[in-house]
A and B are shown apart, each in its own frame.
Chain A
Amino acid sequence: MRRFTAIIIALLAVTIAFSGCRMKSPEEARQMAEKAFKDALSGKDCDRENFLAAEELLNKAREEVNKKNYDKAEELFMAAKKKADQIGAFVKSHPDLCDPKAKKETGAQKTAAAPNDGFEEETLSAKDPNMKFPVIHFEYNEYAVRADDIPLLKIMAEWLVNFPEAAIRIEGHADERGSIDFNMSLGERRAQEVRDELGKLGIDLKRIRIISYGEERPLATGSTEEAWFQNRRAEFVKTN
């Protein structure tokens, strides 16, 4: 029994010694997170999901600081920094999406230099029977068509008007996160939204079938924002 007590006392001493050399506050983590967040502000609109996540994590971390839960706060700050870094990487890899100025420039450049790029609206010709169909992308856990992609849908509708015999299938997809079951519905809702938008543009819905592949058919591999963005999509396939 005495030995047991001695062990407990020794353990307590070690714990106290360690807590003594802990940071008084997770100041370092806070500074890192806030700097990363500031750097990521340009991604506020184009990587909204991560932006909101980073913001939420930062706020939570600050709350924990107020509650003096420094370990938890530090952990949250580091998570916020990680999210903010991901936004930074996304902004870097999507200059056309994230910077309105860059968007116009790259758009123009692409029209001139890379006419076969395919996904830029300027390069698509609705008069071309073999037009490469655009891909519609979605926000995380969302199925509304983004304003950015409406011009692509208009081109698609124009093409369907020009080729009235054509029938298409819209294939909806989700990224790898979340349950396989729910993602099947998410993919389906994305395909439905795209179909309904085409309907609003005057296309007869009888010409359009939809299918969801859930998260089973990713275009891009890897667990990165970039890959997830590529994979949250609706694709058009000609069926006749």
Chain B
Amino acid sequence: MGIHIRRSLIFLCAIALWGGAVHAQLKGEVRDGALVEYAIAVPAFTQGGDPKGELAKNLTETLRRDLALTGYFSVLDERSFVEGPEVAADKVNFKNWMTVGAKGLVKATLTGVEPVELEVQAFDVAGGKKLLHKKYKASGKAIRKAVHSFARDLVQLLAGERLKFLSSRLAFIEKSGRNYKLMVADFDGADPTAVLTSDKILTLPSWSADGAKIYYTAYTSGEPYLYAFDLKTQKAALISDHPGLNTSASPAPDGKSIALRLSKDGNAELYLMNLESKALTRLTSNLAIDTAPSFSADGKEIAFVSNRSGNPHIYRLFLNDPARVERLTDQGKYNQDPDYSPDGKYIAFTGRDEFYMFDIFLFDVASRVISRLTQKQGKNENPSFSPEGRLIVFSSDRTGKNGIWLSNVKGDKQVQIYTGPGEAITPSWSPEVPVTQ
């Protein structure tokens, strides 16, 4: 197995120049559960007065996409703008922005190279007031992270909510024939990097509780053993090598143990493994297949798949009483890959519908109502929640090839964020990771 090591030297410094008074302006905009989006204009960033540079364009797109993904904003189409991007932030005529229906305006300029300095300012158009003013200095890829943190801070300021996904990453497998890559990319698909490549099977990646490692199963030894790849040291460590399958790690929120699927006793069962002592506690015990565990955020429950009723369905077990198992789905005949939302309200899963198509569904734990996120757009599988639960990542072959897609929990906004030379599958969303990691 070859290991690719790619690390970017990151130097990132952010100076908050102006925090403004916190106006919870976006919070009151939710009516009857429907969000009234805050219209924001993001004219092109300029670099030395030029809005056409590669980096300036790239960062403009990054911020526009970030703001759209938050679900709080509608990002206005620049073709409607009447004021050019070259107008300096202190020369802005707010009437020009009121005309195009903007409530908010973001102006950004770039200066220098390696490190680049990025100055971003957000304004309340109606009041002509500055809301947020930040300066960042960064080298290489870190400048994109600065844009993400600006988006995160703007939402924090306007809505009082910290959107963790804006500093998070994705892990997934990209498969080309018998070539496997364990991929890591930013949540928006940027900077995709193969952290491991192998001609042996690599499968089912999932993040450790602290976001520093990725658990995955590899057939490197010939057997399906569970490993943890440390992103800092770029080294893989063997976690579980029992006879049979060692797969599907889901970390307990405290990071001290993982739930996993082992078949050492002859049949796929769920176990809890203490990561320090490697001691195992068996959680399920029956003749059916039990697999795909997903811890609830409070650490008290595990959602999983079992075919104990004949077909695979979603169940949950309670760790204080593992004998207590509750079946959650009774619609359909083939429900798999559950992922518990960080707020404990939903379990996302892959279900097969009456047309034998695989799609993403959401189970509302309180009401037990199932809603559907994808339909008639190819095969959609392996949902994984963003760290605050606002978005879901999944794989879809709707373009004819498996790529990585994001959806909001309503399912009405979906965007492909990665497609590569191979089939990109089994995405897993990291917890919030520090910007400098």
Contact = CB atoms under 8 A, between A and B. Distances in A.
B partners with A: yes
Contacts of A231: none
B318 to A, nearest CB: 22
Nearest to A75: B355
B411 interface: no
B292 interface: yes
Given A182-B305, A185-B245, A214 B203 contact: yes
Contacts of B426: 180
A182 B336 contact: yes
A192 interface: yes
Given A53-B356, A57-B354, A214-B203, A184 B245 contact: yes
B312 interface: yes
A148 interface: no
B70 interface: no
B381 interface: yes
Contact of B334 (A56, A57, A178, A214): A178
Contacts of B263: 185, 188
B268 interface: yes
Contact of A185 (B289, B334, B382): B289
A211 B247 contact: no
B312 A182 contact: yes
Interface string B237-254: 000000011011000000
A44 to B, nearest CB: 18
Contact of B268 (A56, A75, A185): A185
A60 B354 contact: yes
B355 A192 contact: no
Nearest to A183: B336
B281 interface: no
Contact of B203 (A53, A76, A216): A216
B284 interface: no
Main secondary structure of the interface of A (DSSP, over half): helix
A180 B291 CA distance: 11
Nearest to A78: B355
Interface string A62-83: 0000000000000110010001
Given A181-B337, A182-B336, A188 B354 contact: no
Contacts of A92: none
Contacts of B336: 178-179, 181-182
Interface core residue of A53, A75, A76, A181 (most chain B CB under 10 Å): A181
Interface in A202-225: 210-214, 216
Given A53-B356, A212-B245, A214-B203, A181 B266 contact: no
Contact of B381 (A83, A179, A212, A213): A179
Contacts of B382: 179-180
Given A184-B245, A216-B201, A79 B355 contact: yes
Nearest to A189: B289
Contacts of A188: 244-245, 263, 268
Interface size class for chain B?
A: 35 or more
Contacts of B106: none
Contact of A179 (B224, B266, B292): B292
A186 B289 contact: yes
B223 interface: yes
Interface string B256-292: 0000010100111000000000000000000001011
Interface in B206-246: 219, 222-224, 244-245
Contacts of B292: 179, 181-182
Nearest to A143: B289
A110 B222 CA distance: 37
B305 to A, nearest CB: 6
A53 B356 CA distance: 8
Contacts of B203: 180, 184, 214, 216
Nearest to B243: A209
Contacts of B244: 188, 210
A104 interface: no
Nearest to A60: B354
A71 to B, nearest CB: 13
A111 interface: no
Contacts of A76: 354
Contacts of B355: 57, 75, 79
B341 interface: no
B311 interface: yes
B174 to A, nearest CB: 13
Interface in B330-362: 334, 336-337, 350, 352, 354-356, 358
A83 B358 CA distance: 16
A141 interface: yes
Contact of B224 (A177, A178, A184): A184
A211 B223 contact: yes
Nearest to A57: B354
Contacts of A212: 224, 245
Nearest to A50: B356
Interface string A137-156: 00001000000000000000
Nearest to B425: A180
B108 interface: no
A146 B245 CA distance: 25
Nearest to B305: A182
Given A179-B292, A179-B381, A212-B245, A141 B311 contact: yes
Given A180-B382, A185-B261, 20 more contacts: A53-B356, A56-B354, A60-B354, A79-B356, A178-B312, A179-B292, A179-B305, A179-B350, A180-B425, A180-B426, A181-B261, A182-B289, A185-B268, A185-B291, A188-B245, A188-B263, A189-B267, A210-B244, A213-B201, A214-B203
21 contacts: A57-B354, A60-B354, A75-B355, A79-B356, A83-B356, A179-B305, A179-B382, A180-B203, A181-B261, A181-B292, A181-B305, A181-B336, A182-B307, A184-B203, A185-B245, A188-B245, A192-B266, A211-B224, A213-B201, A213-B219, A214-B203
The 7 closest A-B pairs by CB, nearest first: A179-B336, A185-B289, A185-B268, A181-B292, A179-B337, A216-B201, A79-B355
